[in-house]
Structure 1
Amino acid sequence: MLSALTHPSLRNCRRLFLRNYEVMINIGVHDFEKKGEQRVLINVDLYIPLAESTPTADHLDEVVDYDFMRETIIQRMAQGHVHLQETLCDDVVRAMLAHPRVRAARVSTMKPDVYPDCEGVGVEVFQMKEEA
């Protein structure tokens, strides 16, 4: 099986990333989780074709702005409580792929405060746009 990251359509891509974006979010299925926010770390990788992300004039509008990743997450958080990390990841990756320049996206979330004996528990999803 071919790994998604070695897929031919990602060969000529630039990877933009957002690492360990720490947010306080209403997430969880248990009653105690519905009473307040939890700390969640979010990571995003965006794969953008070099032809659509290589600046010629050194201007921001020639690339995907990093703010897009943060603002997309903030917009999802503003929608209110989410039960599952899977739902959060799926929602965020779909929104990332809605950007016309993004070919593929990877999103992971991690709750670092759930168990005292591990770094955290989380979910990761990777999606690519269908080739035209």
Structure 2
Amino acid sequence: MNNNKLFTIGFTKKNAETFFEKLIKSGIEKLIDIRLNNVSQLAGFTKKDDLIYFLKKMCNCDYVHKPLLAPTKEILDAYKEKEITWLEYENRFNDLLVSRKAHTFLSSSDLHMVCLLCSEPTPDKCHRRLVAEFYKNYFKNIEVIHL
């Protein structure tokens, strides 16, 4: 059985050209925005309305916002303020995904040629990696590719 390809990307420390070229080259069909806030002034070209336009025009792909795949403000703030370690953040966030029944939000085939978007420049300490791993562990036939 072929694996469904699930991509992830963060926009921080990327200009628009680099960001969109990575998406175009990957051939994604849909971008799932898993940020809590998709209209931040810091987001630049990834503000919701601009992103929807650019994705359609440049990548011929769809956009959907799934904030239930984002951490709560409390978990995020606790990590940012160094009240909890990254390991504690991972554990709390993974527990949150289980309690929210995130496995019911998307099927394995819904994740094929999809890219999860968050802001962090790399996936190592970003919840997009945790979401991708959650689905890979649940469905087993997911190949995760970090852009």
TM above 0.5, one fold?
Answer: no
Could you state the TM-score of these two structures normalised by the residue count of structure 1?
0.30
Q: State the structure with more CA Rg.
A: 1
Could you state the TM-score of these two structures normalised by the residue count of structure 2?
0.28
Greater fraction of residues in helix: 2
| Structure with higher RCO (Cα < 8 A, 6+ apart) | 2
